[in-house]
Every structure is written in C-alpha cells, then in structure tokens.
Structure 1
C-alpha cells in the first residue's frame, strides 16, 4: 500500500553521492512508519538480508512475512541521526570508475504502540534506541538499496508486549 505521507522512491531531481545512499535508510524507515510496502521494497535488494538483534530474514518474501508483518502491525515512529556513509568505487564494464557500493551506520530512536492505539491516551508503548549498519549497492534503477541491514537494539523502555515480547539476541 502506498501512503499519502511517502514521496516517490525516485525523487526529482535525482540525488547523488552520500545523500542518495542515506535516502535508502530514510525510505526504509518511512516505509515502517507508513506501512508502505512499495517504498520499503525500493530500499532493499530482492535477495537482501534484514537482521534485527541477530535474527536474520533473507529475501523480500521472508522479510515481508516476518519483519514487515510485525512492524506494520504496530503504530511506529522512527527517527534517524548520526548517519555516516563510506563510499566505495568500482569499475563499470566500460572502464569508468563509479561509486556503486557503500556502507552506512546510524543511530535510531523508535516508538511503538499497538496498532491503531497510538493516538489513544494512556496506551502502553515501547521506546527503543538502536544502532544501524548497512551494506548497500546502487541498483540498475539508479536507487541505492540495502544488501544487508543490521539493527541492534541498545536499550528499550516500556512494554515489550506492544511488539509481541522481548526482541533480544538469544531468541530464535
């Protein structure tokens, strides 16, 4: 479903360099907050890996069935900061050097409420701080997309039942 609060994946004018890499992260978390599957897909390679607290989902079908099913079931807001990007230069088939791979790190805050309850006073919620690490590739459509996105929760405050229980590293 496309959200009225999400802009198109490819913006005009097109972004370049680090800004274009960071946009993959923004597309991803905006998709979380707006339940926008198409926007999320624009941020991930079809065979990408989405890893939350050492629990990995590989490929968009698995990510949709497991990760997005949970994220889209709650009311969320994700705020990203401290974003850093490292660009790597590769060579195209015609011999021209081009930045086509990148690594990204960021810090995120995310607030979660039970689905449909976010605007109701006094609701249980879960606030978390997380570290993000991503490996990205520029896809054939020109958009940067995650090959691998790791999220590691560093602290939480509130009620785990909002997201179905603890999201610790030992759970499988």
Structure 2
C-alpha cells in the first residue's frame, strides 16, 4: 500500500501515522508499518514496553499480522501547532482478533478489546511522513479468549 498520500492536510497526515500503523497490522504490510514508526519507537501496553522498530516488529507485528484482525480508530484528537515538527494525539480503539483463517468461521474463538491510545508523533523530513515515536496503549476492557493472541 502507498505510504504517502499527497493530498492530506497536516492534521490528516498526523492522523495517518496511526492509520498506517493499524492498517499494517491488519493487512500484514511490513513496509507500511515501517513508514509509520520511528526507528526508536517506544510502545507501552499497560506497563509492558517494547523499544525500537525491530523489537516492535518481532514482539508485536510478527504475531498480530498473522491473525485475522481489524482495528477501528475513533475519537481521534490531535494537538498540533502549524509548522511544528511534533504533535500528540489520543484515540479510542476497538480491536478484534481471530486465529489465522478463522475470522469468517461462524462461532470461531476471538479476542476483542477496547483501548485508549496516547501517541507522540514526529515529522520525518527525509520521507515527508509523520511517524509514531511513542505509543502508549491503555486497555480498558477485553472479551473473548486471550489465547487467540498466543
């Protein structure tokens, strides 16, 4: 998938960093993931941290991208000053996960969660893209079988 979308406003381009990241997880698109995160990205899920793009890929992407999964991003709020090279955003996210090739199977075991995301982004002038530098995820609820994620 195309990483850079030239018609986006600055606010839309900031939001697109998150949209690229979750779409990369949902479509198993490593290039799209790499376009959305800084090399030193810090990911924190309820106090469990992963630091660096390589660690994010091996500990999160490699597992989630194999699942039948969708992430829905809502209530996105962006704090950005025109001309700045950094911004923050928050979002409410609903994520559904099924074991590989079972997402369309009636009654299949699933794991679903609702989360709040707190994200710091920076502008990468080399690629002209906004990228996630810090991603804190607070899981607020879950349902289903967490073993789906194993």
Partner of 1:124: 109
TM-score (norm 2): 0.94
1:76-97, CA deviations, whole angstroms, 9 ceiling, x for partnerless residues? 01001000000146xxxxxxxx
Partner of 2:98: 113
Out of 138, 145, 149, which is 1:159 matched to? Answer: 145
Q: Which runs of 4+ in 1 moved over 3 A?
A: none
Partner of 2:128: 142
Structure with larger Rg: 1
The DSSP-based 3-state class of the residue aligned with 1:42 is: helix
Q: Distance in 2 between matches of 1:12 and 1:144?
A: 12
Out of 2, 7, 11, which is 2:5 matched to? Answer: 11
1:107-137, CA deviations, whole angstroms, 9 ceiling, x for partnerless residues? 0001110112111222100111000010000
Q: Distance in 2 between matches of 1:145 and 1:53?
A: 21
Partner of 1:35: 28
Higher helix proportion (structure 1 or 2):
2
Q: Within 5 A, what are the aligned runs for 1:44-59?
A: 44-59=37-52
The DSSP-based 3-state class of the residue aligned with 1:99 is: coil
Q: Where in structure 1 are there 5+ consecutive unaligned residues?
A: 1-6, 90-97, 165-172
Q: Distance in 2 between matches of 1:75 and 1:53?
A: 23
What is the Cα deviation at residue 42 of structure 1? 0.6
- Number of residue pairs matched? 149
| Alpha-carbon RMSD | 1.2
What is the Cα deviation at residue 8 of structure 1? 0.5
Partner of 1:104: 89
**More off after superposition, 98-107 vs 48-57:** 48-57
Q: Distance in 1 between matches of 2:47 and 2:103?
A: 28
Q: Distance in 2 between matches of 1:41 and 1:50?
A: 14
Partner of 2:19: 26
Q: Where in structure 2 are there 5+ consecutive unaligned residues?
A: none
